[in-house]
Amino acid sequence: MELFGLISIPTWLLVIIIIVTGIYLYFTWTFGTLEAMGLTTPKPIPIFGNILSELTHFVPDVDVKHAKLYGKTYGFYFTRIPSIRTSDPDIIKAVCVKEFNSFTDHMKFDLRSVDPMMNRFITQLSGEDWRQTRNVLTPSFTSGKLKQMIPFIDNCANELTSILGELADANQSFEIKDKFMAFLTDVIATCAFGIDLNSQRMKDQEFVTQAKRLVFQQNMFYLILAFIVPAPILKFLKISIMNAEALAFFKKVILDIIDARQKNKSRRSDFLQLMLDALEENNAPTDSNEPKKIPMTYETVIAQSVLFLFAGFETAGSTLSFVVYNLATHQKCQERLYHEVKDALDKNDGKIDYEMLSQLSYMDMVIHETLRRYPPAIRTDRTCTQDCMVNGIAIKKGMLIGIQIYALMNDEDYYKNPEEFRPERFEEDGCDYKNSFTYLAFGVGPRNCIGMRFALMEIKMVLIHILKQFKIVVAEDTQVPLKFLNGRFNLIPEKPIKLKVERRN
Ligand code: HEM
């Protein structure tokens, strides 16, 4: 083929040139958008945009470094997608609360490649669909409903402390996260699905194997593929950000439970039942003139049950591991906490109840300080759903706002010596962390973490059980200070955290 009558090039070469140019344009077309908005932006490269540094470094450090280099609010190309990243409390307040109606949605992953039902995860839903589903789920997390779960959690915590007792007697160090994950598997199985698993003692159960597959498959590689490769191609190549076999397993488990409950007309106060009740109530005909509700389906309920497992397992497991690590390496804090727990139990005839949990103020500080330093979610996000102006920045519909949770909570401007573990910082004058936009471990605004109260309840309960019987100490093989793996979206220690426990007399 002749080009402009000048050079003769073979057709195959021309096709290659057109394809390469097309790909190049596809991956670079959006470059310049952020700079035009007046945002300082690191220089992007084709295909990767600005993400390369995240693949090879410790992601939370990258976020802190970027905030120092480019300011608390800057532009960032997630592959080819222009986004704004911010750890500025004023902008976070505007996006998550004041202008929430323009930022109702999260970043979307197309999960069709795994199972269409997964597009019903509440995290995936947008606008009115999300609002409706959240309204149905919220009543399951009220203090009244959570109280009913205390006996279930108590049983699982008793099993854990009996195992810890054996390890204390053997004077053996052990991987603490393994123990917490087994405990949490039992808690979620009983509180979410009404299954008494006892995986802490009975190993190798399929529920546990599949739960681990579901939670641990994600990594940056899958995440990036999910962004740049269309869902049908991912499906064809059998690549997914979630393990399809594990999802199918849990879907069947939940369907079987629903089926059995309907046949036997039985009930249990777990999340599944609460959601089924809410579904029935939501779909009941009304004779008022209210606008028509979006009917909920079993599919939505099943999707949320699986999501709870996914969202609540690793987050609570890593929080608990970091709390006990901090207590082992800060014995003074542990003693103060032990005395708070002991006094509270003495006043309450040794019983744990919901009211007592809410009175443990130092426990609250220890947990929140751990979450500040080691947040399980280092970022969250919102997608702009209608053009809007935020603190002088004109944000277009469709643009993604990355909220830098770790960078914010480890910013010297808000937390003096942020690398220090010091729960007392929360009782110092002027530090009303729960009501400030500088503390974001559970997110903020109407789309914050729906499971926060449940998570805090189970974490506090298991800590009480442990502290009243044991002193947590470092072992010869405990890594101090902690070092973390690079290229991950969550804080995973290079070496698993190993500790010892000693019986208190
Ligand atoms: C220490 C434990 C936990 C932490 C640190 C945590 C953190 C978070 C964060 C940061 C978000 C995003 C919030 C935002 O964008 O403003 C979130 C959302 C969410 N979390 Fe949690 N979470 C924890 C435990 C749980 C548990 C136990 C459950 C369920 C039982 C759960 C269910 C959810 C759900 C369903 C959402 C999405 C809410 C929505 O889109 O409306 N989380 N969580």
Residue 466's CB: how many other CB atoms inside 10 A?
Answer: 22
Q: What pTM value is reported for the model?
A: 0.91
Q: Report the atom number in ligand 1 closest to the C-alpha of 375.
A: 5
Atom 18, ligand 1: residue with shortest CA distance: 449
Residue 153 CA to residue 158 CA, distance in Å, equals 9
For residue 389, give the nearest of 81, 128, 103 by alpha carbon: 103
CA of 275 to the centre of ligand 1 (A): 17
Pocket test for ligand 1, best of 442, 447, 453 (most atoms within 8 A of CB): 442
Beta bridge partners of 86: 73, 403
Residue 485 CA to residue 258 CA, distance in Å, equals 40
Atom 41, ligand 1: residue with shortest CA distance: 447
CA of 70 to the centre of ligand 1 (A): 29
Pick the range with the lowest mean pLDDT from 90-104, 196-210, 396-410: 196-210
Three-class secondary structure of residue 475 per DSSP:
coil
- Where does ligand 1 bind, in terms of residues with CB under 6 Å? 122-123, 134, 307-308, 311-312, 315-316, 319, 371, 376-377, 380, 441-444, 447-451, 454-455
Give the pair of three-digit tokens for residue 286: 């009304």
CA of 138 to the centre of ligand 1 (A): 12
Assign 186 a pLDDT band (cuts: 50, 70, 90).
very high
Q: Report the atom number in ligand 1 closest to the C-alpha of 445.
A: 16
CA of 489 to the centre of ligand 1 (A): 15
CA of 319 to the centre of ligand 1 (A): 13
Pick the range with the lowest mean pLDDT from 117-131, 286-300, 363-377, 401-415: 286-300
Assign 479 a pLDDT band (cuts: 50, 70, 90).
very high
- ∠ CA 415-421-427, nearest 5°, is 60
Sketch out the chain's domains with CATH numbers. 87-284+292-503 (1.10.630.10)
The single residue listed with the structure tokens 């069947």 is 252
Q: What is the mean pLDDT of the chain?
A: 89
Atom 21, ligand 1: residue with shortest CA distance: 449
Among 179-193, 292-306, 315-329, the range of highest mean pLDDT:
315-329
Q: Report the atom number in ligand 1 closest to the C-alpha of 319.
A: 1
How far, in Å, are 313, 413, 422 from residue 327 at the CA level?
Answer: 21, 26, 11
The per-residue pLDDT for 298 is: 83
Q: Is residue 449 part of an annotated ligand binding site?
A: yes
Residue 448: pLDDT above 90? yes
Q: What is the pLDDT of residues 53-104, one digit of tens each?
A: 888 888 999 999 999 999 999 999 988 889 999 999 999 999 999 999 999 9
Residue 219: pLDDT above 80? no
The per-residue pLDDT for 9 is: 76
CA of 311 to the centre of ligand 1 (A): 6
